[in-house]
């Protein structure tokens, strides 16, 4: 007999989903095309006990997504923190890492830095690069996932954590260490190209404990922030916040205006110039976007 039930979306494959229900996981499709269902969503489904149709998305606490000049690209819903996974090899993009953190700040989500593959000799250099962010207070966890996952466990407790990062950083190895039955595909990175290849092709949620979940996501090559408006973007730079409202001009864009308190803070050594340069570059890219013309 068909009935309605609530469930949690634990896997998203374009228009097909797996929903965890009190009776177990069910393959589901979406009713109509207006619902944009994401991994982490809590939903109402109509089911015959074997398959289901998602009819409603329950209210979200947040939505984590990226966007380019033309469209938004949602990644997951109802996350409480993101964990950006990096490693010394293949080399990671510090700018991409910062973009992920800025998106999290804009969504009201905490951020965690994971430096994986600490057995690599280049790890100390990678740690130095991350000092730009650890000085701001973003926590850093160092681990070698294929041998010891223990350093990560306390930081996950009580959270729904989205694992995010470039290909080849070891996200799937972390998943396998935490959830052995997941058997996530892993792949060696290319030394010649200094890059990894995609092994995760969809977003998947793993329940580690009753109050703790991990969401794996496909590897990133880029992360744009066109969905974040100018004020929210500035606010996402946490070190800028003490200076808001103090600039000479109320509509200061923190580019080159006289009396800009943020520029003065950079000149005084209170804000790293790399961070202001990133902000100014992101502002200019937003202004060139079709959304802002």
Q: Which CATH number fits the domain 237-292, given the four candidates 2.40.160.10, 3.40.50.300, 1.10.40.50, 1.20.120.350?
A: 1.10.40.50
Give the C-alpha separation, 94 to 43, whole Å: 36
Do 36 and 21 touch, CB atoms closer than 8 A?
no
Three-class secondary structure of residue 29 per DSSP: strand
Q: In Å, how far are 8, 45, 53, 119 from 3, measured between CA atoms?
A: 16, 8, 11, 52
Answer yes or no: CATH 2.40.50.140 is held by domain 3-57: yes
Query: Quick one: pLDDT at residue 201?
Result: 60
Query: Quick one: pLDDT at residue 31?
Result: 83
238-246, Cβ contacts within 8 angstroms, sequence gap of 24 or more? 238/105, 238/136, 238/137, 239/136, 239/270, 239/271, 239/272, 239/275, 240/271, 240/279
Query: Quick one: pLDDT at residue 197?
Result: 43
Three-class secondary structure of residue 26 per DSSP: strand
90 cis-preceded (ω within 30 degrees of 0): yes
Query: Quick one: pLDDT at residue 25?
Result: 94
CA–centroid distance for 149 within its chain: 20
The pLDDT profile of the chain, 293 residues, written as one tens digit per residue, is: 578 899 999 999 878 999 999 989 999 999 877 889 999 999 999 999 889 999 999 999 999 988 766 677 889 999 999 999 999 998 999 999 999 999 999 999 999 999 999 999 999 999 999 999 999 999 999 999 989 999 999 999 999 999 999 989 999 899 999 998 875 544 443 343 434 444 446 899 999 999 999 999 988 878 889 889 989 999 999 999 999 999 999 999 999 999 999 999 999 999 999 999 999 999 988 766 554 43
CATH topology of domain 63-216: Rossmann fold (3.40.50)
Q: For the chain, which residues make up each domain, given as ranges?
A: 3-57, 63-216, 237-292
Query: Quick one: pLDDT at residue 187?
Result: 41
Neighbours of 17 (CB within 10 A): 25
Residues 6+ apart with CB under 8 A from 141: 83, 112, 113, 114, 115, 151, 152, 155
């Amino acid at each position: 007999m068909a009935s309605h039930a609530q469930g949690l979306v634990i896997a998203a494959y374009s228009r097909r989903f797996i929903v965890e229900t009190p009776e177990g996981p069910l393959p589901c499709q979406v009713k109509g095309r207006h619902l944009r269902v994401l991994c982490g969503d809590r939903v109402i489904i109509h089911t015959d006990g074997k398959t289901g149709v998602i009819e409603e998305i329950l209210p979200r606490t947040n939505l984590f997504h990226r966007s380019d000049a033309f469209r938004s690209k949602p990644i997951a819903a109802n996350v409480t923190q993101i964990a950006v996974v990096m490693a010394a090899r293949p080399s990671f993009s510090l700018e991409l890492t910062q973009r992920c953190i800025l998106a999290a700040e804009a969504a009201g989500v905490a951020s965690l830095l994971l430096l994986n593959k600490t057995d690599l000799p280049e790890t100390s250099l990678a740690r130095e690069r991350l000092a730009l962010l650890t000085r701001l207070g973003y926590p850093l966890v160092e681990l070698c996932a294929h041998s010891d996952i223990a350093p990560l466990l306390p930081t996950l407790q009580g959270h729904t954590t989205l694992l995010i990062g470039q290909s080849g950083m070891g996200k799937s190895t972390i998943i396998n260490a935490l959830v052995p039955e997941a058997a996530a595909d892993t792949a060696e990175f290319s030394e010649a190209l200094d890059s990894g290849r995609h092994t995760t092709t969809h977003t998947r949620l793993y329940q580690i404990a009753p109050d703790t979940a991990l969401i794996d996501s496909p590897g990133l090559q880029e992360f744009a922030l066109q969905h974040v408006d100018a004020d929210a973007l500035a606010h996402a730079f946490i070190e800028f916040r003490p200076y808001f409202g103090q600039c000479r001009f109320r509509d200061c864009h923190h580019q080159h205006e006289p009396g800009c308190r943020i520029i003065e803070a950079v000149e005084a050594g209170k804000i790293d110039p790399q961070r202001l340069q990133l902000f100014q570059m992101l502002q200019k890219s937003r202004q060139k976007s079709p959304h802002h013309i």
